[in-house]
Amino acid sequence: MSTHRYAVGLAAAAALGIAPLAACGAGDQGRAAATSPSLSLRTSPTTTARSLTTTSAAPSTTRTTATRSTVPRPTATAVKSTATATKAPVPAPKPPPATLCRVPAGVTAEQVVLVDSAGAGATVRACRRTAGAYRTELGPYDGHVGRNGVSAAKREGDLRTPAGVFPLRGGFGAYANPGLRLGSWLQVDAQDVWVDDSASSLYNTHQRTPVNGRWASAEKLLNQPAYNYAQVIGYNEARTPGRGSAIFLHVDKGAGTAGCVSLPTGPLLAVLRWERAGAVIAIR
């Protein structure tokens, strides 16, 4: 091309307001030298990264800025999780397991009134056998045994409570049956006695006066408050002379007994009502 035709082409382009394109590889230096008005370039349909806008910053220079797609900033409400935090439900406290009873070896009864003595004092529990072990169902209660403690060699008049395992029998008292379902109940009067004369053929049995020479001594059963409510402990049922008699579970008077086991009225009645056929008492 001649010099003349090139000059004419430039003049025509200038008249139409079209800037000449920079050569490839000119980079920012080539774009900064352009003095034409702003030119917007669109990316091809396959270009998805971002769009470029070229703006003229001053008559002598143009600057290319990259604009990213506008993403709204999350508000404080949006940042906060809308999920409501739920706490795991707190389970109700379980009752503590029933206390195991150290019932003497060899006992197989379903119910055992367990008496642990300490001098004339005693701790009494009502225990039931479940799943091969004895567990406390009532108590422990504070009570008393004989003033001279407990003995496996009980003798008549020694003020000791016999040690061992014995059946529980029917009951008696100055008042009507409070709910004992084990054996019969006798509401006593002034004529009811328990024979404690080892020489008598009626030794260790309930009898009624008059005596008529049948015994030399006997304990009156109308004895309040101790015998307001009482239960017969099946001790010395063979009625061996001198081995002891009239052994009961009765109302506590706040001190050691003459050989019985005693509990305050409330605990005593609870135990009597709890018992069923076959219940035993273990004294140690």
159 lies in some domain? yes
**What's the domain range around 164?**
111-283
Which carries the bigger pLDDT value, residue 162 or residue 35? 162
Does position 60 have pLDDT exceeding 80, yes or no? no
214 lies in some domain? yes
Does position 1 have pLDDT exceeding 60, yes or no? no
For residue 89, what pLDDT band results from cuts at 50, 70 and 90?
confident
Domain count, the chain: 1
Does position 190 have pLDDT exceeding 90, yes or no? yes
CA nearest neighbour of 232 among 251, 250, 248 = 248
**What is the predicted pLDDT for the residue at 72?**
54
Does position 233 have pLDDT exceeding 70, yes or no? yes
For the segment 121-154, what is each residue's pLDDT rounded down to a tens digit? 999 999 999 988 999 999 999 999 999 999 999 9
Average pLDDT of span 94-107: 81
The pTM score is: 0.67
- Coil, strand, or helix at residue 115? strand
8 lies in some domain? no
116 lies in some domain? yes
Does position 207 have pLDDT exceeding 80, yes or no? yes
27 lies in some domain? no
What percent of the chain is predicted at pLDDT more than 70? Answer: 67
- Please give the backbone phi and psi of residue 14, each rounded to the nearest 5 degrees, phi first: -65, -40
Average pLDDT of span 254-268: 98
Does position 18 have pLDDT exceeding 70, yes or no? no
120 lies in some domain? yes
Does position 224 have pLDDT exceeding 80, yes or no? yes
**What is the predicted pLDDT for the residue at 97?**
57
165 lies in some domain? yes
Average pLDDT of span 102-122: 97
Give the Cα separation of 262 and 150 in Å (integer).
Answer: 13
Does position 194 have pLDDT exceeding 70, yes or no? yes
What percent of the chain is predicted at pLDDT more than 90? Answer: 64
Give the up-direction half-sphere exposure of residue 34: CA atoms within 13 A in the CB hemisphere.
Answer: 23
- Please give the backbone phi and psi of residue 33, each rounded to the nearest 5 degrees, phi first: -80, -10
Average pLDDT of span 191-204: 98
DSSP code, position 255: S
Write out the E strands in the chain: 51-58, 61-67, 111-118, 121-130, 133-144, 150-151, 161-162, 164-173, 185-187, 192-195, 206-208, 218-220, 230-233, 248-251, 261-263, 280-283
CATH number of the structural domain spanning residue 146: 2.40.440
* Averaged pLDDT score across all residues of the chain: 79
176 lies in some domain? yes
Count the residues in the chain.
284
